[in-house]
Amino acid sequence: MSAAPSDPSARGYVRNLGSLTWHGLAQLARAPTHSRREQARQRLARGWLVLAACCALAIVILMTTFDVRAISLMPPRGTVSLWPLRAFTDLAKAAYVLRALGIALLAILLVAAALHGTRRALALGVGLRVEFLLLCVLLPILIGEVVKGVVGRGRPFVGGAANAFNYSHFAWTEAYASFPSGHAIVAFALAIAVPAVWPRLRIAMWIYAVLIAISRVVLLAHHPSDVVAGALVGIVGAMLVRYWFAARHLIFVIGSDGAIRPRAGPSFRRLKGVAQRRAAP
């Protein structure tokens, strides 16, 4: 039975929820305070420059020599036997991933507002990491959507022929939204963000990202150069969000060499222990 609006416990829960929400937003918006943030920024800038140069060269080479050949070798769009691949590629669909992370974050916040002490701290620690993942996907996706509309590259075989240089700039249509690949953005953003928090998942996440990229070409949703561009946007966007968090002492620490490393956070064992104590009579 739900509590009446005048119930003090209900009012207290609402106040807790509002306070936690405000605090979560405020800590992200506050000015950076980490003393080593400049070393981290310089290190990231050097890495981004090398990555951008390599990806730009790869994109040019793929567009001029390989894109048309690659999509011409793929099975026709809509081939029935490819349904497992179409199901798999949805694991990197931006709407699904953002919705799942958003629901998870909201659920954690609702639970945390009812907890106290160590249990609340553990829940908020998990929530902060989910919030990090959400922003790591959201930022590059927003950038990618703008680039898609401005560039206006046609998807494979739009117009009837295999043409790597079929453009309709500022078209803002699905048919001319091939560059960069949104699925690749999500997959490679997660390949950076998830291991940044849980390093043991690095190999699994990179395998996931590469397979997503391949699936987009096989399904004739994108040219190979589109997925390389998507990977670049996803990686850079996730690294930018990671720097934003580290510069504010959130989740990460910055070493003397400028490297950003994860703080010790809520472990599965600690969360399981809290859940067991919560359920105990």
Structural domain contains residue 198:
yes
Structural domains counted in the chain: 1
Contact call for residues 185 and 193 (beta carbons, < 8 A)? no
Structural domain contains residue 150:
yes
Structural domain contains residue 107:
yes
Helix, strand or coil for residue 153?
Answer: strand
DSSP string, 223-277: -HHHHHHHHHHHHHHHHHHHHHHHTTTSSEEE-TTS-EEEPP---HHHHHHHHHH
Q: Say what the pTM is.
A: 0.90
Q: pLDDT tens across 70-123, in order?
A: 999 999 988 999 999 999 999 999 999 999 999 999 999 999 888 888 888 898
- 261, β-bridge pairs: 253
Structural domain contains residue 99:
yes
Q: Which residues contact 279 (CB under 8 A, 6 or more apart)?
A: none
Distance, in Å, from the CA atom of 150 to the CA atom of 275, rounded to the nearest integer, reads 49
DSSP string, 154-174: PPTTTTSS--TT-B-TT--SS
CATH number of the domain to which 150 belongs: 1.20.144
**Domain containing 157: what range?**
89-281
Structural domain contains residue 152:
yes
Structural domain contains residue 19:
no
Contact call for residues 220 and 77 (beta carbons, < 8 A)? yes
Q: pLDDT tens across 229-270, in order?
A: 999 999 999 999 999 999 999 999 999 889 999 987 665 555
Structural domain contains residue 58:
no
Structural domain contains residue 72:
no
